[in-house]
């Protein structure tokens, strides 16, 4: 049996869940997991449904048949084949902890994506990437060549059919044009528990302020630097006895985990943009299972 997911966003009103459930039952689909959220402030309704097709229904057929239901409720909707892996481009500079973590999760099947390329403005991780049989693209970025460099980056995105760009500690600010063009399809990891301690050295700022929690934030990239809708956050506890170097080391681990969680939510269509915020539904049963353990 084939597994699909349905994502829905529409104005809130009664009868949505009943209409969706009735349609899927009529089309021979058995619902295995369902989440919904009614935002009373915005009047928006969000829903994600996992299902098994027990009678041979296809995403195209379901999409076509669902049109009448969608029109009735003014829905923005899509059916997704959960076996299809999202194509992803990873961008990295000179900090490799997030890249290496993502490569490991991808290799064991814990992060079911298709990495179609890695782009970097440095050569530090060329060998690591190539050893994974993944195309590596070195694109140097300077103040003078930035438009040309970004044009090359976007050409790679288009040529590979990448649906998502992951900034795995890519230490260059993307232009407003790329942010708009890839809106909702660029995920960044910020080495700070936003909105505190922004800038180049947040761990030093945190140390100087004597904080007891440090953390990381993964968010969608917008033209407003580090202000995009937040997908995932986490923290780790520190004490007065730790050094700034300890903060950095502990921060590496939490950054890697937070970025992986954000990507996992996005590729499983669990994240919905809701103005300047996001709605992030829990993972479906079995979606964290790995093909192998090492």
Q: Which of 273, 234, 226 is nearest to 256 (CA)?
A: 234
Query: Rounded to whole angstroms, what are the CA distances from 236 to 195, 199, 210, 249?
Result: 16, 20, 14, 11
Other C-beta atoms lying within 10 Å of the C-beta of residue 13: 12
The CA distance from 261 to 263, in Å, is 5
Distance, in Å, from the CA atom of 228 to the CA atom of 277, rounded to the nearest integer, reads 8
CB neighbours of residue 245 within 10 Å: 10
3-state secondary structure of 58: coil
226, 234, 246, 253: the active-site residue: 226
Give dist(CA 257, CA 106) in Å, integer. 13
Q: Is 276 a catalytic residue?
A: no
Distances (CA, A) of 10 to 39, 47, 97, 249: 11, 9, 39, 43
State the catalytic residues.
226
């Amino acid at each position: 049996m084939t597994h699909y997911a349905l994502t829905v966003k529409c104005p809130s009103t009664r009868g949505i869940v009943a209409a969706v459930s009735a349609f899927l039952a009529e089309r021979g689909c058995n619902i295995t997991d369902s989440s919904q959220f009614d935002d009373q402030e915005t009047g928006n309704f969000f829903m994600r449904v996992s299902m098994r097709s027990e009678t041979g229904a296809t995403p195209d057929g379901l999409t076509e048949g669902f049109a009448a239901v969608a029109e009735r409720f003014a829905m923005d909707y899509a059916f997704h084949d959960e076996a299809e892996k999202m194509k992803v481009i990873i961008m990295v500079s000179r900090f490799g902890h997030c890249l290496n973590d993502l490569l490991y999760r991808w290799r064991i099947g814990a992060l079911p994506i298709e990495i179609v390329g890695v782009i970097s403005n440095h050569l530090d991780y060329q060998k690591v990437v190539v050893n994974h049989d993944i195309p590596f693209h070195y694109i140097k970025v300077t103040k003078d060549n930035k438009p040309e460099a970004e044009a090359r980056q976007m050409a790679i995105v288009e040529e590979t059919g990448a649906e998502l760009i992951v900034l795995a500690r890519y230490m260059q600010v993307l232009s407003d044009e790329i942010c708009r063009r890839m809106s909702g399809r660029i995920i960044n990891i910020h080495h700070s528990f936003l909105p505190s301690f922004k800038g180049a050295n947040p761990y030093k700022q945190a140390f100087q302020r004597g904080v007891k929690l440090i953390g990381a934030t993964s968010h969608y990239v917008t033209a407003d630097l580090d202000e995009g809708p937040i997908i995932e956050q986490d923290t780790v506890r520190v004490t007065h006895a730790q050094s700034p170097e300890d903060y950095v080391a502990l921060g590496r681990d939490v950054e890697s985990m937070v970025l992986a969680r954000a990507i996992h939510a996005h590729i499983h269509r669990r994240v919905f943009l809701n103005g300047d915020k996001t709605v992030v539904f829990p993972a479906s049963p079995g979606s964290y299972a790995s093909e192998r353990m090492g």
